[in-house]
Structure 1
Amino acid sequence: WKVGLAALSGWIIIILSITTWHYRDNYRHALSKQQEVEKLAESRLDTINAIQRQQKEVAALDAKYTQELTDARLENDRLRADVAAGRRQLRIKGTCSVSKTATGASMGNGSAIEVSREAGSTVLDIRSGMISDQRKLQFLQA
């Protein structure tokens, strides 16, 4: 009976060792998976933070360029109203090259050319479009 008890004790030790090894292996595997999941969660959080930071930067740029565009439009509207009311006149500096062989009376180079109110309004419309396009390009290139 002593031999049977020794054999039974040996089997119990072997079974307990195998069971311990099995649970220890499962624990290590679960710990490894948990670390992988934590790294993935941290990586995703970093990505989300980077995207939010970029969104804030884009929103700030948008606000800046929108304000600049609004200011330019208001200035252009003010100029257009002044031209229409006669408080301002649109003058374009012009030069004429004259042939050296030409004779007769002439004006000096660099004289101011006055345009009608309608033409002035058209020029200011063109100016407004150019300013708008420039601001949009600046925003897109930023």
Structure 2
Amino acid sequence: MSRITAIIYAGVICLLVCLGWLAYYYHGTATDYKKQRDTAQQNLKLSNATITTMETRQIALAALDAKHTKELADAKAENDDLQRKLDAGGRVRVAGKCPPMQATTQSTGTPGVGDAGTVELSPVAGRNVLGIRAGIINDQAALRTLQDYIRTQCLSQ
């Protein structure tokens, strides 16, 4: 009976060694999968935060774009109204103020121009002035838009 007992003990020991090896193998595999899961969860959180930030910035940019587009459209509409008035026979007048005359000029009796006079431009010059005004309005609107973009998107981080 001692031989049968020895075989049973040997079988039990082999079984325990095999079970220990399997437990060690699956424990290592489970640890690796846990690390992979944790890394994936961290990447998911980072991706979600990035998406949220991008959505917030897109909303802010859309509002900024709408604001500046409206301002530019209003300025263009005003310039177009002035252009229509000029085309309908209106005139462009430039209000000006002359600098005070020097004492030597006044003593000689040279005739001068009074203050707060107006100068009337020809229709061609008026259209040129309105064209220049439209260009200035576009340039200023573009500068304001870029400055707001830099202020809200680039410097706010």
* 8 Å contact from structure 1 (residues 94, 113) kept in 2: no
For the residues of structure 1 that align with 2:92 and 2:144, how far apart are their CA atoms?
30
Partner of 2:151: none
CA offsets per residue over residues 82-122 of structure 1, 9 Å max, x none?
A: 12323454223131453422223323223222222222221
For the residues of structure 2 that align with 1:48 and 1:15, how far apart are their CA atoms?
49
Task: Extract structure 1 runs of 4+ deviating beyond 6 A.
Answer: none
For the residues of structure 2 that align with 1:30 and 1:24, how far apart are their CA atoms?
10
Partner of 1:129: 135
Structure 1 residue 77, shift from structure 2 partner: 0.8
Structure 1 residue identity aligned to 2:124 = E
Q: What is the TM-score normalised by the length of structure 1? A: 0.87
Partner SS for 2:104: coil
Q: What is the TM-score normalised by the length of structure 2? A: 0.80
Structure 1 residue identity aligned to 2:139 = D
For the residues of structure 2 that align with 1:97 and 1:36, how far apart are their CA atoms?
79
* 8 Å contact from structure 2 (residues 91, 122) kept in 1: no
* 8 Å contact from structure 2 (residues 96, 117) kept in 1: yes
Partner SS for 1:67: helix
* Percent of residue pairs identical: 29
Among 61, 70, 78, the residue aligned to 2:64: 61
Structure 1 unpaired stretches of 5+: none
Partner of 1:118: 124
Partner of 1:30: 33
* 8 Å contact from structure 2 (residues 98, 115) kept in 1: yes
Count of paired positions? 142
